[in-house]
Amino acid sequence: MQVRKAVLRAAGAAMVVFAVAPWIGAGSASAAGIAYVDPKWGADGGTNSATNQTVLRDSCAYDELADVAHAGTGWHFVMTGGDGLTTFTAHFVNAGDITVTTTDGASGAIVQAGKGAVVYTPTDDTLVNVDAAPFNGHSGYGSAATDDVMQLSHLCSGVTPPTSPPPSSPPPSSTPVTTPVTTPVSTPPTTASQQVSVLPTKKSSTPKTSVLGTKAGSELPHTGNGLPVTALVVISLGLLAGGGALVAAPAVARSKKPRRH
């Protein structure tokens, strides 16, 4: 009997653990990481955009930078393996700290769907490391989905979005326009015998087509659990109820056992 009670309690405890495990995993997996810029770009005096010949110069024509004019020198940083970048800050000798986000601004923005960032300095500048927090010996850092290392990909020039010229109006015409005079035509009256009755035609109704949409199942962040949240809640509650019943079953059975007189 004692073995049976122990088995019931163990099974109930296991069901409770399985019920809460998906929610605990979802909370811990959503913790943000930090992406630091490789210290080599700020070492030995820092990377100078005016004199450094090893850094490539290329375009920064990313979709995220298409709405705002950007002047000066663009610095493109890219993550080596991670993603989910939401903010990024770089430190320069003249411009100081410059922060960009997922919203395009004059200083740049997060690009490549969260895998890189473009930061614009007003002029040529030098990227340097900062020993104090939050840089911690790096020239830049960003908030990302996981910890990662960022590299300086290339430099680019500022770009101003093209503007369309206003439409031109046609020149006024100097030749007067003569409107012809139309003589009205009299219509003889219609007698009662000439009147024609026209029955209205009923317009055929076009059958309506009903398009059913497919509802996509929601996925808990970073857990890989493809079950809908509603289904997962029902399953978890069922497991909690079943596990609690199994744990409490021996005590309930003991309380219902008839007493000897």
Domain limits of the chain? 1-31+230-261, 33-159
- Which of 30, 22, 32 shows the shortest CA–CA distance to 225? 22
pTM for the predicted model, two decimal places: 0.53
Question: What does the DSSP assignment read for 222-261?
Answer: TT---S-HHHHHHHHHHHHHHHHHHHHHHHHHHHHSPPP-
CA 99 to chain centre: 19
Query: What confidence tens digit (pLDDT) does each residue in 79-110 have?
Result: 999 999 999 999 999 999 999 999 999 999 99
Token pair listed for 56: 């490539």
pLDDT grade for 248, boundaries at 50, 70 and 90: confident
Phi then psi dihedrals of residue 29, to 5 deg: -75, -15
pLDDT band at 230 (very low <50, low <70, confident <90, very high): low
- Strands 56-57, 47-48: pairing kind: unpaired
Report CA-CA distances (Å) from 157 to 70, 85, 243: 8, 23, 64
pLDDT tens digits along 192-218:
444 444 444 444 444 444 434 434 444
Q: Does pLDDT of 158 surpass 60?
A: yes
In this predicted structure, the answer to whether residue 1 has a pLDDT above a threshold of 70 is no
Taking a C-beta distance cutoff of 8 angstroms, is the pair 86, 144 a contact?
yes
